[in-house]
Amino acid sequence: MFGRRNPQLNANDELIHLLSIEGLPVATLQHILDTAGTFLSVNERDVKKVPLLRGKSVFNLFFENSTRTRTTFEIAAKRLSADVINLDIARSSTAKGESLLDTIANLSAMHADMFVVRHSESGAPYLIAQHCAPHVHVVNAGDGRHSHPTQGLLDMYTIRHYKHDFTQLTVAIVGDIVHSRVARSDIHALTTLGVPEIRAVGPKTLVPGDLKEMGVRVCHDMAEGVRDADVIVMLRLQNERMSGAMLPSAGEYFKTFGLDGAKLALAKPDAIVMHPGPINRGVEIDSAVVDGNQSVILPQVTFGIAVRMAVMSIIAGNSP
Amino acid sequence: MTRTLITNARLVDPASGRDDAGAIAIDGERIAIVARGHDRRLSDFDAARTIDAHGAVVAPGLVDLAARLGEPGSEHAGLLESELAAAVAGGVTSLVCPPDTDPVLDEPGLVTMLKFRARNLHRARLYPLGALTQGLKGEALTEMAELREAGCVGFSHADVAIRDTLVLHRALQYAATFGYTVWLRPNDAWLGNGVAAKGPLATRLGLSGVPVLAETIALATIFELMRDTGARVHLCRLSSAAGVELVRAAKAEGLPLTCDASIHQLHLIDVDIGYFDAAMRLVPPLRQQRDRDAIRAALADGTIDALVSDHTPVMEDAKHLPFAEAEPGATGLELLLGAALKWGEATKLGLSKTLAAITSRPAAVLARSRGAAESNKRGLDEGAVADLCVFAADESWSVDGTTLASQSRHTPFARYEMPGRVRCTIVAGQLAYEAAG
């Protein structure tokens, strides 16, 4: 019964799709991060290719536009020697009225081996994984507010790279958590990896109290939220939050929950600052912090390629 | 004129609470003889047809206060013919349908046609609700008196919340003028827009959540307007523990109020959504366990008057979409009896009290809303109209959407083991359904 069993694992608990970090065993997460480490060196070589996915077809299905994420998946797949087909679905078949599942059926008939899916609705990749041919693997590249597992994993890779041990850390996630699939993925990954203190920081309109049940401490005060933190994850603030009466203005948001030098000084001296991008300088984060020496925002992007290579190579090697 | 005799029956009459072995004789549209034990009148009854119940229960036909039938407007999902056949296959002999059809039931002609077509099918009795405002737009009142004459048993706004409190106030004032019952689902127009119940599950899955406030604020508004206007209200499909408490207090206060809950709220909770199972995309959305527990208790103690199927035909493809985009609703007419029995077994209520929630109690709500003179002959009384359901209480069946009579196959109860199997259904003395084999 698809509704009940974790659909991204096969009967041996091996990863066949990556839909969400929730419910993944800690060993699986560690395995992905370790594998990513081995690919990092590939990315630094003159010939940046390994033949792990040679002859395989990876379809990038972006029902919602995102040049950056799509590009990183494309680079990762190409470095694994896969053939990559980019489909900008927002502008093609579904615009002509074709249903999501008809699109999937057609692409499956073209002998796809893997779908990398971004969709504006939470849960859409689950529907695709449920209805595509059994040999096809699905990677969630972001679904609605629900999940963005490869971003969560690359964030974990970044934290492990700089902080080594998860079990001693305080991590603050700041901003629009209610609408953020990145925050949800980070929270699941951090709790699985044993981080003792995870804080969700922001105004009550953006940080619902229900988050407690995901294992985080909810903070509605920025100073309390970042004090003595080892890691600060800043989230992007969308402009529509102002029109939806969730915030009065970008200016007031920056003043109260934006990260500037003074607020960063409350964290541990060696705290790192992360951001999934794209950045709104002067809205959720000050330019000086983005470009400062505690920022690891660009290394996140580099690690993102290796993590996506790891995910694709691992799931392609497991059969349903 | 048909004369039917049902022998070897277990006669369960929820209105009186009686539960005896016996036989029942039907003459034309009405029950002629109710024989509990030996009754010499039976030997004189010259039956054209005799049904041996083999110990099965004979009870009054089920009354479902919320069933959509697909017509007019959603014929691809359900047809009057298929859905009324589903009703009698489920033992339902009377059902109330909301006005959110396409076109909306806001004109007497539409109501007359719907009733005429339903009558010609000789299945379950159909009692339409008229729209409270034209086009369910929440702006102008409908011609309620005309609609009543055409056969509307009450006036409703279906699942469309009325944004303008002034319009709702006037609608209740106007309905109260004529003593009409207004059927409302308590849901605030602004807070009530979400695809799941607000709570840890919705937060975790990233689904937009409807807070309990959407129900309690709407209830508080409705109760204030009732106090002011004296209007009689039937509340549709309560979903929360806090809502149940408000209803309990309002009833204690003496407001002219009845209410129902659906089989979904009685058995399911938000966690059943699992990994975005679109079969669980329902209106109102499934809430938490404490809400379900409160609804089960309130249905048992009578705070909630009736259990409804909330039958909503949904076409095959409309659920093969991401959760939020999937069409809400589920087939339910054939599951109402089983859902009630399952609840009755779990709460150890006894068969008669269990059946009251789907027979005598909704029948009383319907009778009041119709403005029908309170008849002293109902249920299994001699002289009462012969609307009956015959079912084997000790048999169970596994729910499989593809084997249902309803054209719509989506149900959150797929693969559930349901107690009670309907043998036959009699409407106005005529056999409207008989199980194969």
- SS3 per-residue string spanning chain A: CCCCCCCCECCCCCECCECCCCCCCHHHHHHHHHHHHHHHHHCCCCCCCCCCCCCCEEEEEECCCCHHHHHHHHHHHHHCCCEEEEECHHHCHHHHCCCHHHHHHHHHHCCCCEEEEEECCCCHHHHHHHHCCCCCEEEEEEECCCECHHHHHHHHHHHHHHHCCHHHCEEEEECCCCCCHHHHHHHHHHHHCCCCEEEEECCCCCCCHHHHHHCCEEECCHHHHHCCCCEEEECCCCCHHHHCCCCCCHHHHHHHHCECHHHHCCCCCCCEEECCCCCCECCCECHHHHCCCCECHHHHHHHHHHHHHHHHHHHHCCCC
Contacts of A210 in chain B (CB under 8 A): 198-200, 202-203
What integer is the mean pLDDT of A6-17?
Answer: 92
| Cβ(B411)–Cβ(B335) below 8 Å | yes
What integer is the mean pLDDT of B60-87?
Answer: 93
Q: How does pLDDT run across B259-294, given as a tens digit for each residue?
A: 999 999 999 999 999 999 999 999 999 999 999 999
Interface check A118 vs B, CB under 8 A: no
The whole-model pTM stands at 0.94
- Report the range of poorest mean pLDDT among A68-72, A170-174, B64-68: A68-72
- Is the pLDDT at B370 greater than 60? The verdict is yes
Q: Give the model's pLDDT for residue A1.
A: 38
Question: CA of A214: which chain B residue's CA is closest?
Answer: B204
% pLDDT > 70, chain B: 99
Question: How confident is residue A44, by pLDDT bands cut at 50, 70 and 90?
Answer: confident
- Is the pLDDT at A3 greater than 80? The verdict is no
Distance from CA of B213 to the nearest CA of A (A): 15
- Report the range of poorest mean pLDDT among A7-21, A176-190, B111-125, B374-388: B374-388
Give the closest residue to B43 by CA, choosing from B61, B58, B25.
B25
Q: Give the model's pLDDT for residue A69.
A: 92
What integer is the mean pLDDT of B400-405?
Answer: 93
Question: How confident is residue B74, by pLDDT bands cut at 50, 70 and 90?
Answer: confident
**Terminal CA-CA length for chain B:** 26
Distance from CA of B271 to the nearest CA of A (A): 10
Q: Give the model's pLDDT for residue A48.
A: 83
Q: Do B322 and A210 touch (CB under 8 A)?
A: no
Question: How confident is residue B378, by pLDDT bands cut at 50, 70 and 90?
Answer: confident
Q: How does pLDDT run across A47-63, given as a tens digit for each residue?
A: 888 999 999 999 999 99
Q: Do B325 and A121 touch (CB under 8 A)?
A: yes
Q: How does pLDDT run across A69-96, given as a tens digit for each residue?
A: 999 999 999 999 999 999 877 666 555 6
% pLDDT > 90, chain B: 94
Interface check B199 vs A, CB under 8 A: yes
What integer is the mean pLDDT of A25-51?
Answer: 92
Give the closest residue to B305 by CA, choosing from B352, B359, B386, B382.
B359
What integer is the mean pLDDT of A288-300?
Answer: 97
Preferred mutation among A100, A121, A205, A240 to probe B, highest tally of B CBs within 10 A: A121
Interface check A240 vs B, CB under 8 A: no
| Cβ(B432)–Cβ(B125) below 8 Å | no
Q: ∠ CA(A259), CA(A265), CA(A266), 5° rounding? A: 90
Report the sign of the C-alpha dihedral through residues B198, B203, B205, B209, in that order. positive
Judge if the upstream peptide bond of residue B186 is cis by omega within 30 degrees of 0.
Answer: no
Q: Do B275 and A2 touch (CB under 8 A)?
A: yes
Residue B179 backbone zone (phi > 0: left; psi -120 to 50: alpha; other: beta): left
Q: Give the model's pLDDT for residue B20.
A: 95
ipTM for the whole complex: 0.92
Q: Give the model's pLDDT for residue B77.
A: 85
Q: Do B206 and A131 touch (CB under 8 A)?
A: no
Q: Do B206 and A7 touch (CB under 8 A)?
A: no
Q: State the number of CA atoms in the 13 A half-sphere of A246 facing the CB.
A: 19
Q: What is the mean pLDDT of chain B?
A: 96
Q: Give the model's pLDDT for residue B260.
A: 98
Give the dihedral of Cα atoms B81, B429, B65, B298; nearest 10 deg: -140
% pLDDT > 70, chain A: 96
| Per-residue tokens: A207 | 């940080």
Gap between the Cα atoms of B29 and B3, Å rounded: 9
Preferred mutation among A5, A146, A186 to probe B, highest tally of B CBs within 10 A: A146
Catalytic center residues of B:
310
| Cβ(B45)–Cβ(B384) below 8 Å | no
Question: How confident is residue A2, by pLDDT bands cut at 50, 70 and 90?
Answer: very low
| Cβ(B143)–Cβ(B171) below 8 Å | no
What integer is the mean pLDDT of B207-227?
Answer: 98
% pLDDT > 90, chain A: 79
Contacts of B204 in chain A (CB under 8 A): 22, 184, 213-214
- Is the pLDDT at B220 greater than 80? The verdict is yes
- Is the pLDDT at A45 greater than 80? The verdict is yes
**Cα A272 to chain centroid, rounded:** 18
Give the closest residue to A214 by CA, choosing from A246, A177, A168, A164.
A177
Q: Give the model's pLDDT for residue B1.
A: 56
E runs forming strands in B290-382 = 306-308
Q: Give the model's pLDDT for residue B38.
A: 87
- Is the pLDDT at B257 greater than 90? The verdict is yes
